Structure 1
Amino acid sequence: MTKKELKANVLLLLTAAIWGFSFVAQRVGSEHLGAFTFNGIRFAIGSISLLPLILFLSRKKAKNVQEDVNTIEADRKETFKAGLIAGIVLFIAAALQQIGMASTTAGKGGFITGIYMVIVPVLGLFLKQKTNKNTWIGIVLAIIGLYLLTITDGLSIGKGDLLVLMSSFLWATHILIIDNFTKKIDPLKLSSIQFATCSILSLVVALGFETITAAGIKGALMAILYGGLLSVGVAYTLQVVAQKDAKPTHAAILLSMESVFGVIGGALFLEESLNGRGLIGCVLIFVAIIISQIKPADELKSVNEETVTIK
């Protein structure tokens, strides 16, 4: 492992830690503010926090590359369109997750959300994307782990757990949408616009259905700032920087540690705990996430052969 790869891996692990502890922030925020108010404010902060980096990189690019005015205008329209679509999906996913977090734990929320990494390749089948045997092994383990973690008293599942599980399907859909658009447009600009879209939609709903008070915002202020500045602005920037030098498989596995940090954060700050059954479920889900991200040896061999051919 090179120094660049080691540095990238450390940054990705830090990113996972920030995202994992954000489940604690969401849990705390839900005690003071409605889900839509909390999301509306934190995503507004998140969108604004990316602007300095976007301006810096845009100026740097402008010095090196002279673009046609028509091309710039076309890119703006495409970026806005993509941000709007991604933002709508993000709005639904974030709303389901935040509402669910009000009646589940930070640890369980983290692991249930993490299942989106197993769902992504399954949804990819509908887009004619190939999957492998490790994905199917991961799916089986994830289902068993989810059962142990969330299902109690026969086949009943808590409302919070169910909503967070529903959000994981939306997060998976969101990943595929982002993957499609970032091949064509600037990912940072796309992120800022989608966060702004999510914020506006959340605040509109909040104004119609929730009671927004200064006391509530004050009580959730630290959670809002954490969710907006650290979870969105800082963590996303770290991810973008780190993934330039990290191997894709390593990146996926390190980022999956988000769910583990969710449990650690819940235990440290909220005094949450899991019984033996829940812990086994968490372990199975974590193993499922890792296995689903590892390519079989035959696929790695194929990739290596293709690389040699290209050179």
Structure 2
Amino acid sequence: MIILGKNKALRADIIMLIAAAIWGFAFVAQKDAAETMEPFFFNAARFFIGASVLMPLVWYLSKRNTTSIKKEVSTKKLLFAGTVAGLFLFTASSFQQVGIEFTTAGKAGFITGLYIFFVPLIGIFLGQKTNSGTWLGGFLAIIGLFLLSINEDFSIEKGDLFQLICAVFFAAHILVLGYVAKRMDPLKLSLIQYIVSGFLSLIIAIAIKENIGWDAIIITAVPLLYAGVMSIGIGYTLQVIAQQHAKSSHAAIILGLEGAFAVLGGWLILDETLTTRGFIGCMLMLIGMLLSQLLPNLSLKKAS
């Protein structure tokens, strides 16, 4: 039984690593798409694609008719929770896609990854306890962000600032999901939030008169399909499967590699480079994000 448990944990770690790689390379797809497709129309298209990928899985699991307390939640509550989550997801994704036009895929990946630190920080204002690990990790992450994004005149690039705002909203989105996902079907919840985010993005795209048409979709087909099918549809599904057996400490480490994969993808595909200062900043941010997640877990283990 112990060996079986280890195999499940190892398989979960491998699946989570694949998900982190998919999400990391998605920044490359988003950066590439920014050249040929306007941000809100791109987000609308990829969320609708992601929803269409997830829909058959939701339908299949519903047909299996497995008993679950989460299924007893009314449709009204499910729709409300999905709409609230969709609002946060829409806001975070909007800042991310608008900002990525003005920064590199690698920097966008690392700065967005700061949501790992912002989650416990925002939790403080919601009455959740924190500890020295969170503050130490946050301090290192801020130094890393300074080295990566702050110029000599102490100004921050527009794209990097948007990614930072995006990280805050992603953290709020995670906290919302952390509360409601325990009470209802997470896949149905995700499907609703994708549809809500897609419609909101499409409404804004029409309102600000973005170039909406098949020409943009055809030209951007490859990065669009990757961002929709792989990042949203498959990536999320892999995460759900993996987290059934993954340890939280392992998840923090592996998902934290998303930024590293973004840098790798930017270097391999887009010929992006990092200065020595930027590389050190990335490493400090990664260490800080991991410490903010791992030290609380280590403290709990020692206490028990």
TM-score under structure 2 length normalisation: 0.94
Question: For the structure 1 residues 139 and 214, does the alpha-carbon distance in structure 2 shift closer, same or farther, using more than 3 Å as the test?
Answer: same
User: Are residues 1:36 and 2:40 paired?
Assistant: yes
Aligned to 1:20: 24
Show structure 1 runs of 4+ deviating over 2 A.
64-67, 295-298
Match of 1:65 among 34, 58, 67: 67
1:301 and 1:291 map into 2 onto residues whose CA distance is 16
Amino acid corresponding to residue 263 of structure 1 in structure 2: V
Q: How far does the alpha carbon of each residue in 1:174-210 deviate from its partner, in whole angstroms, 9 at most, with x for none?
A: 0100101101111100101001000000001111211
Paired residue type of 1:13: L
1:60-112 Cα deviation digits (max 9, x unpaired)? 2x2x4399xxx85x521111000101111111110000000011000000000
How much does 1:295 deviate?
Answer: 3.2
Instruction: Report how many residues are paired.
Output: 297
Structure 1 residue 48: deviation in Å? Answer: 1.5
Partner of 1:50: 54
- CA distance in 1 between counterparts of 2:68 and 2:194 reads 28
Q: One-letter code of the match for 1:51?
A: M
1:92 aligned partner, one-letter code? T
In the alignment, which residue of structure 1 is the partner of 2:224?
A: 224
CA distance in 2, matches of 1:300, 1:289: 19
Q: CA deviation at 1:119?
A: 0.7
For 2:242 and 2:67, how far apart are their aligned partners in 1? Answer: 24
Partners of 1:216 and 1:89 lie apart in 2 by 26
Q: Distance in 1 between matches of 2:126 and 2:6?
A: 35
In 2, Cα distance between equivalents of 1:276 and 1:213:
42
* Aligned positions of 1:260-275 closer than 5 A: 260-275=260-275
% same residue: 45
| Mapped pair 1:286 → 2:286 | yes
Asked if 2 retains the 8 angstrom alpha-carbon contact of 1:75 and 1:185, the reply is: no
- 1:93 has 2:92 as partner: yes
Per the alignment, residue 309 of structure 1 pairs with none
Which structure 2 segments of 5+ residues have no match?
none
Asked whether the equivalents of residues 33 and 220 of structure 1 are also in contact (C-alpha less than 8 Å), the reply is yes
- What residue in structure 2 maps to residue 193 of structure 1? 192
How many Å separate the matches in 2 of 1:65 and 1:103? 48
1:300 maps to 301
Matched residue SS, 1:246: coil
Equivalent in the alignment of 1:3: 7
Aligned mates of 2:67, 2:110 — CA distance in 1: 43
Amino acid at match of 2:25: F
Shift of 1:139: 0.5
Amino acid at match of 1:44: F
Gaps in structure 1 of 5+ consecutive residues: 306-311
Q: 1:156 to 1:80 in 2, by over 3 A?
A: same
Of 240-249 and 212-221, more deviation after overlay is shown by 212-221
Deviation at 1:211, TM superposition (A): 1.5
- Report the Cα distance in structure 2 between the residues aligned to 1:213 and 1:228, rounded to whole angstroms: 17
The match for 1:308 is none
Which residue of 1 is the match for residue 213 of structure 2?
A: 213
Read off the aligned partner of 1:218 and give its amino acid letter. Answer: I
Range with greater deviation from structure 2 (181-190 or 209-218): 209-218
Give how far 1:164 is off: 0.8
Tell whether the 8 Å contact from 1:28 to 1:223 is kept in structure 2 after alignment.
yes
Contact 1:27 1:101 in 2 (8 A): yes
Q: What's the CA shift for 1:214?
A: 2.6
TM score, norm. by length of structure 1:
0.92
Q: In structure 1, how many angstroms separate the alpha carbons of the residues matched to 2:7 and 2:261?
A: 25
- AA aligned to 1:301 is K
Counterpart mapping for 1:161-172 below 5 A:
161-172=160-171
Contact residue 141 and residue 284 of structure 1 kept, 8 A = yes
- The C-alpha deviation readout for 1:187-239, integer Å capped at 9, x for no partner, is 10010100100000000111121122332211211111111110011111111
Deviates more, 1:13-22 or 1:213-222: 213-222
Distance across 1 between alignment mates of 2:197 and 2:56 = 20
